[in-house]
Amino acid sequence: MPACLVQGASRGIGLQFCRHLLRGVPNSTVIATCRNPGGATELQTLQAEFPSTLHIVPLDVLDEGSIQRAASEVQQHHGGGVDLLINCAGILHPSGRGETSLRDVSSQGLSTTFSTNAVGPLLVAKYFSPLLQKGTGAFGQHGSNKRTHAAVMANLSAKVGSTTDNGLGGWYSYRMSKCALNMATKNLSIELGRGKNKVICVSLHPGTVDTDLSRPYHKNVPSDKLLSTERSVQCLMDFVNGLTMQHTGKFFTWEGKEMPF
């Protein structure tokens, strides 16, 4: 019974990960976290379809106490380990628009974006890593005779979080926060890569996906470059299913291409 935790599951890519896992992975249990379960209409609809295998747990990435309580709840009610954790919650900027220039940069915008996109996922890793270390290794590939890892943690990053690849500038808050998240992934891969119950940790670029986050920019994206959430999640899960310990600490696109930091 693979157990998956999707953090930031109320809409967009996170919601689609829940659908994909519930419909496509036999016997899987999905723990879907979001800030406000009461307002997560689509997630509730999905729960009506999967009443015994989808568990919705409140978790606000901006509130460390709430992350800790969510981990306790999962530990108590769910029992066993978690085989896959996907950190999805993210914002472009509190205004909904990335900064075009220095003029638009503000202390508040930078801090909120950093807290949501980088601090949040790292705190989720802090409180849920003991559950990941109890995973059964249901995702990713193992050596022929032995289990090489206990679980997989995937942090949804973005190509624009690559400093090496940055040729256009702008989007200060988003770029800096996703860049910092990639550093967190690398650090996590080292800390959780020790001992018997290793956790594969990767940063993933989902492509430019048809979600609320990127909506203000869709008119600039050629239609064949704008991915549906279904396509993006299918590709990301195909990639996750092929992961080995060789991939840990690295940054990949939805097409499986390694990105430089």
Q: How far is CA 155 from each of CA 67, 71, 204, rounded to the nearest angstrom?
A: 16, 17, 6
Alpha helices in the chain (DSSP H): 12-24, 41-49, 64-78, 107-114, 120-132, 172-191, 229-241
Task: Check binding of 53 to a copy of itself (CB under 8 A).
Answer: no
Q: Report how far residue 79's alpha carbon sits from residue 113's, in angstroms, rounded to the nearest whole number.
A: 33
Among 7, 16, 129, 248, binds a copy of itself (CB under 8 A): 129
Q: For tokens 């998240």, name the residue.
A: 181
Q: Number of residues in contact with a copy of itself, rule: CB under 8 A?
A: 44
Nearest Cα to Cα of residue 106 among 117, 116, 95 = 95
Closer to a copy of itself at the Cβ: 17 or 171? 171
Q: How many CB atoms lie within 10 A of CB 28?
A: 21
- Does the footprint of a copy of itself cover residue 176 (CB under 8 A)? yes
Smallest gap from Cβ 186 to a copy of itself, in A, equals: 5
Pick the binder of a copy of itself from 105, 134, 159, 241 (CB under 8 A): 105
Rule CB under 8 A: say whether 50 interacts with a copy of itself. Answer: no
How near is the Cβ of 135 to a copy of itself at its closest, in Å? Answer: 16
Where along the sequence are the contacts to a copy of itself (CB under 8 A)?
64, 101-103, 105-107, 110-111, 114-115, 118-119, 122-123, 125-126, 129, 161-164, 166-170, 172, 175-177, 179-180, 182-184, 186-191, 260-261
